[in-house]
Amino acid sequence: MRNYDNPEKLVELISNQFNLRVCGCYDVDISESICIQRKGKEFSVRDIQAYIDIILLADCEEEEEYLVNIEYCDGGFLAIKKLDDSLFLYMTSSYNFFPYVQIFLKNLDMMAGALTINDDIFLAEENQDAQEHQNGENLLAAKQIQDLVLSDEKILDKYFDDHFLFYRPQEIIGGDFYSFIEFDDVLYVVIGDCTGHSVEGALATMVVSSILKEVIVDGSLEVSSIINKFYEKVDHYNENITENNTYGLGVEIGICKIEKNAMNMHYASSGIILVHQSTNGQKISKIKNVFDDRRNFYMANFSVHKGETIVMFSDGIPDQFDKKDEHRLGKSGIKRMLAESCRNVIDMEKSFLSKFDGWRGTTPQLDDQTLLCATI
């Protein structure tokens, strides 16, 4: 069982990310609670004590960590998770939002190592190196959260002759993600860019990925239907965020539907760019079709032929500044690099990355960066 040595930071981070009426940690050894209450009736810690007493009395060795969901007052739900031998995390949420809380709690341990990296703690100069080393280890441990939402690239072998995936978070973990969802001979390729970096970005990818899995349930769905249903759920999520929450959930996605036995593709995007390198030259997607009053979506259906290439990328690629820190690469720069690279994807990977890193030089990376290149 993981040792949660910073419950204050844990409570603060969770409260800022989710629609929680109450969030807190209770230490049974000292009978003290750290609690943040954002709305609703005055919360009684005695209720938590009573439920925790029941958990402790159960004393089930086979389930060292408990996740208890209880219908609570005012139509809300109460969740209690045992973090270590004496510390319990508790939170209450509305009925509609509670599934997202459950997903988060089930995977909480994979994030625990990173929850202390943003603490404003003064360190003596001689301890700086040790702290930086520990922060790096914490981020590497937290990278496990990305493994929950990032798909295995091998699934692309069935649909493409060659492919490469360039995935470079700004801080080991981040808000970019990719997902490959397959049904029989239909594959949905999703590239996403969530607002936020590091831990906050990784938390957002977990929520977004769970929404995608709720929406993409079979291979018959059209990308237009998927992207509309997806953002309906995102809007519902944000509507349930408390007024005090400054984060919310912002995300751009691109969804490409590929049918193995049909030489055509269907694409929908809210900001992720797709380049189709066809036998007739390059074509780049543009956000132009308005589906509702709140968002612009791009839709495209196009035929593909043997040897042609598709490229999808997040905005961290075109927004990268050059080695003089003066100019962004831009979409035209990416198209130029792709055009100058070899047609064979394996060589293209080496060529593109060499050109991209040469353009950047030592200029700092300011955003998460993802690029997928695949040849039919």
Local structure of residue 321 (DSSP, 8 states)? B
What pLDDT is attached to residue 115? 47
CA-CA-CA-CA dihedral for 55, 58, 64, 67, to nearest 10: -40
Alpha-carbon gap, residue 283 to 306, rounded angstroms = 16
Predicted pLDDT of residue 52: 76
Tell me what the mean pLDDT of segment 199-203 comes to: 74
What whole-number percentage of the chain has pLDDT above 70?
Answer: 65
Tell whether the model's pLDDT for residue 1 goes beyond 50. Answer: no
Q: Is the pTM of this model over 0.85?
A: no
* 146-375 carries CATH number 3.30.465.10: no
Q: What is the pLDDT of residue 120?
A: 38
**pLDDT-based confidence at residue 277 (cuts at 50, 70, 90):** confident
How much is the pLDDT for 77? 76
* Range with the poorest average pLDDT among 7-16, 163-172, 307-316, 352-361: 7-16
Q: Which two tokens stand for residue 240?
A: 């349930």
| Surface-to-core class of residue 303, CB atoms within 10 Å of its CB (0-12 exposed, 13-18 middle, 19+ buried) | exposed
Instruction: Identify the burial level of 126 via C-beta atoms within 10 angstroms of its C-beta, where 0-12 means exposed, 13-18 middle and 19 or more buried.
Output: exposed
Pairwise CA distance, residues 23 & 10, whole Å: 10
Around Cβ 179, how many Cβ atoms within 10 Å? 20
Q: Rg for the chain (alpha carbons), in Å?
A: 23
What local confidence, expressed as pLDDT, does residue 292 receive? 46
Domain layout of the chain by residue ranges: 7-108, 111-142, 146-375
Burial class (CB in 10 A: 0-12, 13-18, 19+), 299: middle
Q: Fill in the amino acid letter for 4.
A: Y
List the end-to-end C-alpha distance of the chain, in Å, as a whole number: 46
CA distance 230 to 208: 9
Closest to 329 measured CA to CA, from 298, 369, 296: 369
Higher-pLDDT residue of 210 and 99 is: 210
pLDDT score, position 288: 42
Fold of 7-108: Beta-Lactamase (3.30.450)
pLDDT band at 318 (very low <50, low <70, confident <90, very high): very high
Q: What's the pLDDT at 226?
A: 95
Mean pLDDT computed over 14-28: 74
Q: What is the pLDDT of residue 114?
A: 47
Q: Using DSSP bridges, classify how beta strands 251-259 and 264-269 pair: parallel, antiparallel or unpaired.
A: antiparallel
pLDDT at 187 over 90: yes
pLDDT digits (tens, 9 = 90+) for 65-107: 445 566 665 556 778 887 777 888 888 777 666 666 766 676 6
Predicted confidence band of residue 55 (pLDDT cuts 50, 70, 90): low
Is-contact 84 1, C-beta < 8 A?
A: yes
